[in-house]
């Protein structure tokens, strides 16, 4: 099962713009350089009054389908 570690920082105002524009994905780069396209809905548990920020681990299956994502640090 492939997994990717990435860091993300989206300020509250930017997050509100992304979410209100009905963007479907957040694009980011994993620490190994892999470009990731993650559905916005997977970040909702991590949204705070400040936006979304921290380090995360994304687990996918062999078909690149989402399995899980967890926050590992702020």
DSSP assignment, residue 33? S
- Contact residues for 50 (Cβ-Cβ < 8 A; gap 6+): 11, 12
pTM: 0.89
DSSP assignment, residue 48? B
State the total domains in the chain: 1
Digits of tens for pLDDT over the chain (74 positions)? Answer: 899 999 999 999 988 887 776 678 899 999 999 999 999 999 999 999 999 999 999 999 999 999 999 999 99
Structural domain harbouring 40: 3-73
53: domain CATH number is: 2.40.50
Residue with tokens 């389908």: 65
């Amino acid at each position: 099962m492939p997994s990717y570690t990435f860091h993300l920082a989206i300020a509250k105002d930017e997050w509100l713009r992304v979410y209100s524009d009905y963007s479907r994905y957040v694009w980011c780069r994993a620490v190994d350089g892999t470009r990731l396209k993650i559905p916005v809905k997977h970040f909702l548990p991590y949204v705070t009054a400040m936006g979304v920020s921290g380090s995360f681990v994304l687990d996918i299956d062999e078909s690149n389908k989402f399995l899980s994502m967890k926050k590992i640090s702020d």
